Amino acid sequence: MKKSAFFPHSFIAFLALFTLSIGLQSCEQPTEEVEIEVVEEIVPEFDLEAAKAEIEEANKNFAALVAAGDSVGLANSYTVDAQFMNSGAPAVKGRAAIQSAMSGIVQSGITAVDIRLEEVYGTEALLAEVGELTLYVGDDAVAEEKYIVLWKKEDGRWKLFRDIFNSNTPTE
């Protein structure tokens, strides 16, 4: 029996037409509409003015701790990973070292600090504060300084993360 060369071509043509007709039928069937609900998480917008008020309150507390000579309370105003960079001294890291530095400041006779916040900017993750301060021994102003503090939230409160200040008096 002789095989026809027509058979393979006709089979392929049949298969192509069959596939095309199935494809066209599926296009005619209505598609099911799916409703997608978009849920937006409502995140409160960061309120810089409220954060600034919290920093002002933290500064008042810091000044009260200086007046009380409370080096432990002062150290607890800093984050656990804080750095304190006092004028004329190496930077110290961590609360224990900061507590020691604060103890030295208290023992030097500093009895009060007047902190004057000039500006605060940043985000909910980190704030920068720029200002000036005056250090007192009794009623006498002994230092006029400028500072920058970076604040970071720890345990739900703004705490000093980086603290650097230096004198406004020119060096001799």
44-57: pLDDT as tens digits? 789 999 999 999 99
pLDDT one digit per residue (tens) for the chain, 172 residues: 555 555 555 656 555 555 555 555 655 556 678 787 877 777 778 999 999 999 999 999 999 999 999 999 999 999 999 999 998 899 999 999 999 999 999 999 999 999 999 999 999 999 999 999 999 999 999 999 999 999 999 999 999 999 999 999 887 7
Specify the pLDDT at position 58.
Answer: 98
pLDDT at 28: 56
Residue 103: how many CA atoms within 13 Å on its side-chain side?
A: 7
DSSP strand E in the chain: where?
A: 78-85, 92-93, 112-122, 127-137, 140-154, 157-167
| pLDDT score at 39 | 77
Tell me what pLDDT residue 172 has.
73
Burial 96-120 (b: 16+ CB within 10 A, else e): ebbbebbbebbeeebbebebebeeb
CATH of domain 48-167: 3.10.450.50
Domain boundaries, the chain: 48-167
Over residues 65-87, the pLDDT tens digits come to: 999 999 999 999 999 999 999 98
C-alpha 95/C-alpha 82 separation (Å) is 7
